[in-house]
Structure 1
C-alpha cells in the first residue's frame, strides 16, 4: 500500500513535547448527532481543555450523517489551512468512508492523535426474552431478518461487530437486519422503545441505562472482562467477537508543521492530565493515546485492514 501523504509528513520534524503557548481558539467538529460517542469525545475534549486552561475559547459543532463522512467533507471543504479547526473521528469513519465510497478520506485531513479505545456492548431491553449471547445466536439462526439491530452508521465498527457475531453464530453476515442511526441518542430511543431486538454501541453510551436497570448487557466485544463493566464477554460465552472502537482527533488540511506541532502538544498535554484520566475512567474509555508518525502509520494499516474486513462481511464490494 502506498504510504499516505500524512505519514510522509509525520516522518519529518516533530516535537516530542515540552512547553508551548496556550491556544486562543479551538473549533471541534463532532460529525454525528448529540449523545453519541463522537459527540461525547468532542465535549470531553472541550471540558478537559477548559479545566486545564489549555485553550481560551472552544466551540463544538455537530454535523451528523453517513458515518461522519458528511461532516468530514464539510470540514475539508471549509477548514483548509485553519490551525484552530479540528474534527473527531475513529474506526467508524474509516469503515464509512470505504462503504459509502466517500469523496473525501482521512488522507485529506491532518491526523493528530488516537485518543481512546472502547469495547462495544450488545444490549437488549430489560424485559427482553433474550438472556445471553447463546439466546441471541439461536434467534439469529432461526430467522436472521427477524432479529433487528440498532447501531451506528453502515460500515462502521458497530456494523462490523454485528457481522462478526453473525459469523460466530454460523449465519451469513449479509442476512443481518442492521438499522444504522446517525446519533447514539436515536439508537438508544429505539432500543428502549422496543423498536429493535438489540442495540450495539460503546459501553459508556449505555452505562446509565444499564445501571438504572432499563437495559441488560448480552455481551461485550473484549477478549476478557473489563473492570468498568459487570458484564460477560462474547468470547467467554463461546462466540469469537473481539473488536475495539477507537477515536481520534485530526486537524485541518494544509496547516504548517509548526501549527500541527502546537496542536499536537496541546492535545498531548490534555491526554496526560488527571482531568482527562478521570474522564476516561468514568466513561469506561481505554487510554490508547498515540500520535506522530506512529499514529499516521497506524491509520494506514487500519484503512487497509478494514477494507478487507468489509469485503469479507459483504458490507462493501
Structure 2
C-alpha cells in the first residue's frame, strides 16, 4: 500500500471511531502517540487563598502519582459561586475539576446563583482545616480572654474580618464564637474579603481588629510574628502554631473548615469512579501526608454518595447558623 492509500485508510478509520465533532482523547493517543490530556483545576478564590493553595497542593501530589494537572485556573468571585457556575456549564467535560469547601456552601446561602451544588458531580472531600483567631502583632489584645472581655464590654468597638462571607467558614466561625462567649454576632461589624490574600493587608495595617480565618494561609505570618494567634478552633493544637485551643481557654467550641472537589455534570459513572480512585490513591501517598502537615490540614477523605450527603448536611448547618430557630 502506497503512502497516499495508507493515509486514506487511516482517515477512514478515524471517521468511524470519532464523533462528528471530536475524537476521544483515547483514540487520539492511540493514533498519534500523544499522552492523555491533563486535568484543569479551578481555584475559585484569589491567588494565595485557601482554594488556590488546595488546588496547587492537589496538582503537586497528583504529579507524584502520575496524574497530570495541566493548569490551575484562578477564578475568584462571590465566594466560589462564579467558579461553580463555570463548572456547571461544562457538561461532560471530564478534564475539569473545581476545588471547593464550606465557603462555597455558605456563599450559596446568601448569593444569587444560576446553579447549585446539586447541579454538578461530587467527587471527594479531601481535608479539614481549623480556623484561627488572629490580631495584628501590635494589638493590645494579647489573649483570648482579652478579646472576649473587650467584645462583651463594647461589641461595636471591634471590627472583625474574614476571607469568606457570613455563611462561609470564617463568618460561620465568628458567629458561633460570638454566641458561645455570650455576644450577639450582629453587634460587631464583620468585613468580608475574597480570601486570605486580600484579608492580610487589612489585618497588618490595623484596618480591622480581629481576623477569623483558616490556619494554612497564615502560617508564615504567625511564625514571623507579624500577626498573633489567640486560639485555634480545632479540638487539638496545631503543629507550628503557638496558640491554645478554644477549649483549653474555657470556650466550649470546636470548628473545622473543609475542602473538596467537584466535577462537571454529565460524567459517565466509570469516569467518576476513576477520579475517586485517583483521589484515594493520592491521600494514601507519603507526599500527601507531608502536604497535610505543612498546611495544618487533616485527612478527611469522603467520596461519592457519602460526600453528596455530607454536602446536604453542611447546607443545613449553614442555614441554621445564619438564621437560628427562635423559641416560641
Asked if the contact 1:166/1:176 (under 8 Å) is kept, the reply is no
Query: Partner of 1:40: helix, strand, or coil?
Result: helix
CA RMSD, aligned part only? 1.7
- Give 1:173-184 correspondences, 5 Å limit: 173-184=185-196
- 1:296 equivalent in alignment to 2:308: yes
Kindly tell me the number of residue pairs found equivalent between the two proteins.
291
Cross-structure match for 2:62: 49
Larger radius of gyration, structure 1 or 2? 2
Q: 1:112-170: CA deviations, max 9, x gaps?
A: 00000010001111111001111111222222222111212211010011111211221
Q: Describe the SS at the equivalent of 2:190.
A: strand
Q: 2: distance between equivalents of 1:313 and 1:69?
A: 26
Change in CA separation of 1:313 and 1:157 when aligned onto 2, cut-off 3 Å = farther
Match of 2:268 among 239, 256, 262: 256
Corresponding residue number in structure 1 for 2:119: 108
Structure 1 residues 296 and 217: CA distance shift in structure 2, 3 A: same
User: What is aligned with 2:255?
Assistant: 243
Contact kept? 1:118, 1:286, Cα under 8 Å:
yes
- What is aligned with 2:322? 310
Q: Does 1:148 align with 2:159?
A: yes
Offset, 1:102: 2.9
Query: What SS does the corresponding residue of 2:278 show, helix, strand or coil?
Result: helix
Which structure 1 segments of 5+ residues have no match? 1-21
Higher normalized contact order (CA 8 Å, seq sep 6+, divided by chain length):
1
Residues 1:166 and 2:170 are matched in the alignment: no
Match of 2:13 in 1: none
1:40-92 deviations in Å (ceiling 9; x for gaps): 0001111111232222x421111112111122112212x11100010010111
TM-score, scaled to structure 1: 0.87
What SS class does the counterpart of residue 179 from structure 1 fall into? strand
- TM-score with structure 2 length normalisation? 0.84
Mapping of residues 1-317 of structure 1, within 5 Å: 24-55=37-68, 57-77=69-89, 79-154=90-165, 155-312=167-324
TM-superposed CA distance for 1:228, in Å, is 4.3
Q: Which residue of 1 aligns with 2:11?
A: none
CA 1:248–1:51: 2 relative to 1, 3 Å: same
Which whole-Å CA distance do the structure 2 matches of 1:209 and 1:311 have between them? 34
Alignment match, 2:27: none
Structure 2 runs not aligned, ≥5 long: 1-34
- Secondary structure of the residue aligned to 1:312 is coil
8 Å contact from structure 1 (residues 225, 231) kept in 2: yes
For residue 101 of structure 1, report the CA deviation from its aligned partner: 4.1
Match of 2:4 in 1: none
In 2, the alpha carbon distance for the partners of 1:276 and 1:195 equals 36
